[in-house]
Copies of this chain bind each other. A is one copy, B any other.
Amino acid sequence: MNSRGTGSEIERLIQLLGKLPGLGPRSARRAVLHLLKRRDSLMEPLARALSETARTVHACSICGNLDTADPCTICTDPKRDTGLICVVEEVADLWALERTGAFSGRYHVLGGTLSALDGVGPEDLNIPKLIERARNGSATEIVLATNATVEGQTTAHYIMDHLASDTVKVSGIAHGVPVGGELDYLDDGTIAAALKARRPI
């Protein structure tokens, strides 16, 4: 037993849960007590779901999406446009795009952004496979949907440069005022980008 009066099993569980994003030591303690009150309905199902998911879910060898199937269900979906490939930084971005239901092509997950400071080069990301996919003939358009951050845009430019000589069309998602956004609350960069990208209506 430690000074807290909790057994080492509970202490270890608090430490592990506290490593999740969004949970600190205090909320991890609350979560453990919440779980111990719901052993059968939550704690054991969660333990099984974690070990099951760790065992069965893997990165798709084509696009990098996470799925139990390889190639993933998006890559093998016959209803999706094989020519259209949307490039995203992380699986979370793929999920965000899928939630909109506005994209009917396939994806390519880079697994991060280029970063000279952190020593992340193109070979550390899923970039060589993207260039291979873009050149193997079936791709007609590559949509760059990396984040509108310096790193995201640097990575997008790098990919653009390497595909410029190919026949494939390269596009980027639009930057501007978010739907429902008020100009007064937006940063100057977004307003400037929205002005620059103005279109006739």
Contacts and interface: CB of A to CB of B under 8 A. Distances in A.
Interface of A: 1, 3-7, 9-10, 12-13, 16-17, 19-23, 27, 29-36, 39, 42-54, 56-57, 65-69, 73-74, 90-92, 94-95, 98-99, 101
A53 B46 CA distance: 12
B46 A16 contact: yes
Contacts of A46: 13, 16-17, 50
When A and B form their complex, which 3 residue pairs have the shortest distance between CB atoms, in order from nearest?
A5-B98, A47-B50, A47-B51
A23 to B, nearest CB: 6
Contacts of A10: 53, 57, 66
A98 B91 CA distance: 42
Nearest to A36: B66
A36 B55 CA distance: 10
A92 B33 CA distance: 7
A186 B95 CA distance: 45
A49 B92 contact: no
B54 A43 contact: yes
A13 B49 contact: yes
Contacts of A23: 20, 22-23, 31
Contacts of A45: 16
Contacts of A35: 20, 50, 53-54
B7 A36 contact: no
Contacts of A56: 9
B21 A27 contact: yes
In this complex, which of A16, A29, A94, A101 has the most chain B Cβ atoms within 10 angstroms of its Cβ? Answer: A16
B9 A65 contact: no
